[in-house]
Copies of this chain bind each other. A is one copy, B any other.
Amino acid sequence: MNLSSPDVSPPDQALVSPAVQPCDHPQQNPLKIGIMASGTGSNFVAIADAISQQHLAAQIQLVIYNNPNAPVADRARERGIPAALLNHRDFSQREAFDQQIVDLLHTADVEWVVMVGWMRRVTHVLIDAFPDRIINIHPSLLPSFPGIRAIEQAIEYGVTISGCTVHIVRLEVDSGPILMQAAVPVHPEDTPTSLHHRIQVQEHDIIIQAIAQIAQPHTSHNLLTHRH
């Protein structure tokens, strides 16, 4: 058998598929987004760079992070973007923690919330404040491998294709309508690190595409109407 038949991708290409095709109508006002992150912030950097290179009609109002040592804070500040630390350990109730997040997002005039590696479960307080206006990126092809350790789960199961998913956030972890997915191969020699790197490249691509869809007034109204 020949792997290079014309309708088959070479081994390290990816397949990217949106729920709604982006259109080309530029928007007058950039979409005002808030970013919630727990980790390195590589998706934040990808989004910020896409905006500064004028590939994305959005504006990051605020970055909220919950880990005092999260590198995303420095990356935000060096770009002149406000970064607010909210340590969940300072709150005894998840709802109180989420209410503080909501207050910060409202103060910053955020329209849509983008979770990039936010490692805390959300409550109805956050969901209700931004109904169907919170998106998350998850490093698997949902509904496969929800929850933590998604990349390790994929390797342990032995799938030969994995990927990432941008979805609307609902109360149940990693549920909610899918906006966009990208698939990548998993090779027999992959480690969690090597697979993570391959998926991360696609995460950067589809999180930007998803925000671009939302920012386009002609498509954003229809994001959730075709199947959910």
Contact = CB atoms under 8 A, between A and B. Distances in A.
Contacts of A144: 141-144
Nearest to A11: B17
Given A17-B11, A17-B185, A161-B163, A5 B142 contact: no
Interface residues of A, number: 52
A39 to B, nearest CB: 24
A89 to B, nearest CB: 34
Contact of A209 (B1, B18, B180, B205): B1
Contact of A161 (B15, B157, B188): B15
24 contacts: A1-B212, A3-B16, A3-B18, A8-B13, A8-B14, A8-B16, A8-B182, A9-B16, A13-B15, A14-B15, A15-B183, A17-B160, A17-B161, A17-B186, A18-B160, A141-B144, A142-B159, A143-B144, A143-B145, A144-B144, A158-B177, A160-B179, A161-B181, A188-B226
